[in-house]
Amino acid sequence: MKLSVSDVEVKGKKVLLRVDFNVPLSGGQVVDDTRIRAVLPTITDLLERGARLILVSHLGRPRGEVQPELRLDPVADRLSELLGQPVPKLDQVVGPEVQEAVNNLANGEALMLENVRFEKGEEENDPDFARQLAQTADLFVNDAFGTAHRAHASTAGVAAYIPAVAGLLMIKEIETLSRCLEQPARPLVAILGGAKVSDKLKVIHRFLKLADTLLIGGGMANTFLAALDYPLGDSFYEQDLLIDAKNILEASDRSNCCLQLPVDLAVTRELKPQSSFKIVPVGEVAEGWKAVDIGPETAAIYGKVAAEAGTILWNGPLGVFETAPFHRGTEAVARAVAKSEGFSIVGGGDIVAALESFGLAGQISFISTGGGATLKFWEGETLPGIAVLQDKQIKEE
Ligand code: ADP
Ligand code: MG
């Protein structure tokens, strides 16, 4: 168990809080503030307990250079509104201006540093840069679960210089994800979709060991069907992953996990909104046609498995949900997951966007704020941004 920020005294302390405020912007405005809201409990707790708060986040991929459109001003504005308290944003990440602003912070006040990825040292996890960042503070709190799979200066490097503990969101993510892997209510059902098998090889192997059923859809399913020598016409699949897919199918024969592939598919000649399509059984995808969604029979089978699940872990949409009507397979299964009495966890940018577009996000037991981080966690990897945090000492009776 990791030491939580609630376990430490923070009054008067300068606290460097790493958050994941990598939010979508449009016209200089935050268009979705979910990630900001997710960290509010930690921020409010720290401010109420009299911490002097230094917020640090990345936004987009500026690759070590200042990109004016990726400045954090709109994010600081939105946070100030949500908190009902001003959060000034500095134009630097480190340096004398930052030091001075931090020294002027009163207990219970916050400021935000500039986009940490404007600095080359961030993604390189440069020790000098990490030390400069750490120097401004007495305590490091990591609440950026979505970035915890990266060993960057502001997610891991700083912990070499100041004590490091987990934020409340981080604790919630770790506890919920761990519980569902270590002591899941059974049956444990994993649903994996998305475009590529290559992104998810490790997690597939791990789920073959842990899950009772693994349901596969999306472009990834095409690669498995191709490995079984089904014709796929012009469908997307990964030619160079056929051997891996065969190995997975063999491993599933030896495992206690039941791996299920689609039995029918929605196929179209051209992938565009409202293009005509037909439903065919697997094995009947003709030349010139692309499989872009699971079919209704598959959706019904997967839905029934979800309805009877004790725990559901889902990453990746089951079809090209961005292009109607090829969202239908994902939506049908999502409705079953939403209704299921099983505990459901969903992680991944696209699948979460899909659930939101169906209006079902509120009916999922836990929406992880990680995409890549959640997958790494499910793979069983130790995430660098978690590894550096202090462990909780178990007190002797
Ligand atoms: P997540 O963000 O939930 O982890 P991924 O990024 O792995 O999911 O995959 C999402 C992408 O997979 C979407 O852009 C979707 O269009 C694509 N996809 C799903 N099914 C297919 C398919 N049959 N053919 C091609 N692309 C697909
Ligand atoms: Mg994605």
Q: Which atom of ligand 1 is nearest to the CA of 195?
A: 12
Choose the final residue of a domain: 170, 201, 216. Answer: 170
Q: Same domain for 148 and 277?
A: no
Q: What separation in angstroms does the CA of 27 have from each of 30, 133, 262, 282? A: 9, 30, 41, 45
What is the pTM assigned to this prediction?
A: 0.95
- Strand arrangement of the beta sheet that strand 14-18 belongs to: 110-112, 52-56, 14-18, 139-142, 164-166
Q: How many Cα atoms within 13 Å fall on the side-chain side of residue 89?
A: 16
Nearest CA to ligand 1 atom 8: 316
Percent of the chain with pLDDT over 90: 98
| Helix (H) / strand (E) containing 213 | strand 213-216
> Is residue 397, in this structure, part of any structural domain at all?
no
| Helix (H) / strand (E) containing 55 | strand 52-56
Nearest CA to ligand 1 atom 10: 194
Q: Same domain for 97 and 193?
A: no
Q: Same domain for 105 and 14?
A: yes
Query: Is the distance from CB of 149 to CB of 376 less than 8 angstroms?
Result: yes
Q: What is the CATH number of the domain that holds 122?
A: 3.40.50.1260
Q: Same domain for 148 and 291?
A: no
- CA 32/CA 212 separation, integer angstroms: 35
Q: Same domain for 370 and 253?
A: yes
Nearest to 385 by CA among 6, 17, 10: 17
> Is residue 35, in this structure, part of any structural domain at all?
yes
User: What per-residue confidence (pLDDT) applies to 395?
Assistant: 65
> Is residue 290, in this structure, part of any structural domain at all?
yes
Q: Which atom of ligand 1 is nearest to the CA of 221?
A: 23
Q: Same domain for 128 and 189?
A: no
> Is residue 263, in this structure, part of any structural domain at all?
yes
Q: Same domain for 192 and 162?
A: no
> Is residue 385, in this structure, part of any structural domain at all?
no
Q: Same domain for 140 and 215?
A: no
> Is residue 288, in this structure, part of any structural domain at all?
yes
Nearest to 105 by CA among 118, 90, 117: 90
Collapsed DSSP state (helix, strand, coil) of residue 34: helix
Ligand 1 geometric centre to CA of 18 (Å): 29
Collapsed DSSP state (helix, strand, coil) of residue 313: strand
Query: Is the distance from CB of 89 to CB of 72 less than 8 angstroms?
Result: yes
Query: Which domain, by its residues, includes 55?
Result: 5-170
- CA 344/CA 351 separation, integer angstroms: 13
Ligand 1 pocket test, candidate residues 236, 268, 320, 378, most atoms within 8 A of CB: 320
- CA 128/CA 106 separation, integer angstroms: 28
> Is residue 127, in this structure, part of any structural domain at all?
yes
Q: Same domain for 253 and 211?
A: yes
| Token pair 């940018």 in the structure block, residue | 349
Ligand 1 pocket test, candidate residues 232, 350, 376, most atoms within 8 A of CB: 350
- 119, amino acid identity: E
Query: Is the distance from CB of 314 to CB of 344 less than 8 angstroms?
Result: yes
- Kindly list the catalytic residues: 35, 196, 349, 372
Q: Is the peptide bond before 325 cis (omega within 30 degrees of 0)?
A: yes
Query: Is the distance from CB of 342 to CB of 189 less than 8 angstroms?
Result: yes
- CA 386/CA 390 separation, integer angstroms: 9
Q: Same domain for 165 and 203?
A: no
Number of domains comprising the chain:
2
- For residue 372, the ligand closest to its alpha carbon is 1
Choose the final residue of a domain: 170, 205, 222. Answer: 170
Query: Is the distance from CB of 50 to CB of 108 less than 8 angstroms?
Result: yes
- For residue 321, the ligand closest to its alpha carbon is 1
Residues in the chain, pLDDT under 50: none
- 281, amino acid identity: P
Ligand 2 geometric centre to CA of 367 (Å): 15
In this structure, the chain runs to a length of 397
Choose the final residue of a domain: 170, 195, 227. Answer: 170
Ligand 1 geometric centre to CA of 85 (Å): 40
Q: Which atom of ligand 1 is nearest to the CA of 320?
A: 16
> Is residue 206, in this structure, part of any structural domain at all?
yes
Ligand 2 geometric centre to CA of 174 (Å): 21
Q: Which atom of ligand 1 is nearest to the CA of 352?
A: 3
Q: Same domain for 11 and 73?
A: yes
- For residue 200, the ligand closest to its alpha carbon is 1
Average pLDDT over the chain, rounded to whole? 97
Torsion angle, alpha carbons of 386, 387, 390, 394, to 10:
100
User: What per-residue confidence (pLDDT) applies to 396?
Assistant: 56
Q: Same domain for 119 and 256?
A: no
Report pLDDT digits (tens) over 4-57.
999 999 999 999 999 999 999 999 999 999 999 999 999 999 999 999 999 999
Q: Residues with Cβ within 5 Å of ion ligand 2?
A: 349-350
Report pLDDT digits (tens) over 353-364.
999 999 999 999
Ligand 2 geometric centre to CA of 348 (Å): 6
Ligand 1 geometric centre to CA of 337 (Å): 19
- For residue 317, the ligand closest to its alpha carbon is 1
User: What per-residue confidence (pLDDT) applies to 394?
Assistant: 74
Nearest CA to ligand 1 atom 4: 348
Residues whose beta carbon lies within 6 Å of some atom of ligand 1: 193-195, 199, 218-219, 222, 236, 291-292, 315-317, 319-320, 322, 348-351, 371
Nearest CA to ligand 1 atom 14: 320
